Amino acid sequence: MPDAPTPKAARLSSPHRHRGHDVSEARDAATDAGRLWGGRFTAGPDEAAWQLGVSTHVDRQLWRQDLDGSRAHARELHRIGVLDAEELQHMLAALDRCARQFAHDEFAFLPTDEDVHGAIERWLVDELGPLGGKLRAGRSRNDQIANDLRLWCRDACDELVALVGALQQALTDQAEAHLDWLAPGYTHLQRGQPVLLSHHLLAYVWMLDRDAGRLRDARDRLDASVLGSGALAGTTLGLDPAAYADHLGFSRVTENSMDAVASRDFALEVLSACAILAVHVSRLGEEIVLWATAEFGFVRVGDAFSTGSSIMPQKRNPDIAELVRGKAGRVIGDLVSLLTTVKGLPMTYDRDLQEDKEPVFDAVATLRLVLPAIAGTVASLTFDRDRLAAASVGGFALATDLAEELVRRGVPFREAHEVVGEVVRLAESKGVDLDGLDPGELAAAHPVLDRGVADLLDPRQAVDRRDSSLGTASSAVRDQLRRARAAASANVAADRRTS
């Protein structure tokens, strides 16, 4: 005598037995256990083996994407006649109920759930009876997980670009507030030439803009649906890959089913963009740490982004900038982790790819913490104008201007470089900077230095002489600031997520 359907299932579908009672019970048990396989096995997995394979603690983050893919799949099953119209409506309504449970953190995972896909199917079977088991037709976990991760990464890229834009805005706000402030420019952490503080801050805006561009590029390349690939070779049910792309808002369909289920270069590209972004933010954090020291004294970090010492009452530590710097290693490690996982995998899907999600989730989660924190730190900074100005001319920072003036007056640069080096050595021996030498000493170094040298040694004029489109002159920086603001605003607006 056949098993009686559950009350919900009775309204929707009748159980059909095509095999013996024992086989059916084994399949039902496997479904109830939250596994998407098991029929050809006579015993369940060993406990240690099961614990190694369970991934619900990680892939539960994909519930929204998995349910979106399931809705698209249900519509395709209806189109090809696997689900009738009533069954489709019941299925979609159940998927919406499931989504509400996840959204309210009420979905109950069971110890027997192997992954989020199996947990959702187990829930559907509990909710709908045999109808819930129809959704698996024509799809594999292989194309399902690849598609879920693409959807997740697509949203993550949009979110990170917007967070990058917010950090850019914090930097452009500080640049605008300090437009004409002098600052030292460094090479090898030695004073090189004077610049505008705004020019220095805007350098990070353009680094970050390339980071946003890399995230956009990664998003564009991963914006392809893989559903319909099945396990590796497609399916025989007549499912339309383009329809899935339409349902899920993908711009296109992947070209090859084997590539679709086997490749994770889209995740690697997202991780690469994240790692480079983390490195750039780490460099910004490092400069804030340096500038906030008593030795530099260029900046004070706001109280909300500083901490004290457990033993030294006087301490004021730029801990947020340090933590941001430290987190870069974690994100770089996430990239290396996935690169190492995929480097030796034969086609197509291998279970090693269960390890694809955690590094991606971790890198994005880390940047979700880091980017707002460093943006707040930047916004909190108070700069010391006098200290910056004094440092901008220290260390013979205008020596290059003197050499280039010699070139303008007809001296070969090789000779000019040697002449100014001798002038620097003279000033150093006398314990003065270049402007501490008298005109006669400069003229003795080279005859053409007998006139108009004083203007060359004025840091403000030195800055404004660098007036090309990428230079540090006030006029150039004002133009650059307008472009930087536009870039930041475009990135802030990039978050296209709808949920």
**What is the reported pLDDT for 1?**
39
The per-residue pLDDT string of the chain (499 residues; one tens digit each, 9 = 90 and over) reads 344 334 344 344 433 333 444 444 444 444 445 666 566 666 677 889 888 999 999 999 999 999 999 999 999 999 999 999 999 999 999 999 999 999 999 999 999 999 999 999 999 999 999 999 999 999 999 999 999 999 999 999 999 999 999 999 999 999 999 999 999 999 999 999 999 999 999 999 999 999 999 999 999 999 999 999 999 999 999 999 999 999 999 999 999 999 999 999 999 999 999 999 999 999 999 999 999 999 999 999 999 999 988 898 888 999 999 999 999 999 999 999 999 999 999 999 999 999 999 999 999 999 999 999 999 999 999 999 999 999 998 778 888 888 888 898 899 999 999 999 999 999 899 999 888 888 888 888 888 887 667 778 888 888 998 999 999 999 999 999 999 999 999 999 988 765 4
Catalytic residue among 16, 104, 188, 310: 188
**What is the reported pLDDT for 59?**
95
- If phi over 0 gives left and psi between -120 and 50 gives alpha, with beta otherwise, what is residue 371? alpha
Catalytic residue among 14, 21, 309, 475: 309
CA distance 474 to 431: 31
User: Which residue, among 335, 356, 438, 337, has the nearest Cα to 152 in the 3D structure?
Assistant: 356
**What is the reported pLDDT for 85?**
98
Whole-structure pTM value: 0.88
Specify whether 178 is catalytic: no
Instruction: Output the CA–CA distances (angstroms, integers) from residue 298 to 170, 172, 199, 378, 474, in the order listed.
Output: 18, 18, 15, 13, 20
CA distance 120 to 107: 9
User: Residue 185's beta-bridge partner residues?
Assistant: 193
State phi, psi for 182 to the nearest 5 degrees. -80, 150
User: What domains are there in the chain, each with its CATH number?
Assistant: 7-137 (1.10.275.10), 142-182+197-380 (1.20.200.10), 391-487 (1.10.40.30)
Contact 212, 494 (CB under 8 A): yes
CA 157 to chain centre: 6
User: Which residue, among 276, 267, 240, 258, has the nearest Cα to 151 in the 3D structure?
Assistant: 267
**What is the reported pLDDT for 441?**
85
**What is the reported pLDDT for 14?**
39
Task: Locate 443 and state its tokens.
Answer: 């003229």
CA distance 259 to 242: 17
Place of tokens 């970050």: 208
Specify whether 446 is catalytic: no
**What is the reported pLDDT for 37?**
52
Place of tokens 């007809």: 410
Q: Give the 3-state DSSP-derived string for 203-264, with helices as H, strands as E and coil as C.
A: HHHHHHHHHHHHHHHHHHHHCEECCCCCCCCCCCCCCCHHHHHHHHCCCEECCCHHHHHHCC
User: Which residue, among 223, 205, 310, 215, has the nearest Cα to 269 in the 3D structure?
Assistant: 215
Rounded to 10 degrees, the C-alpha dihedral 111/112/117/121 comes to -120
**What is the reported pLDDT for 178?**
98
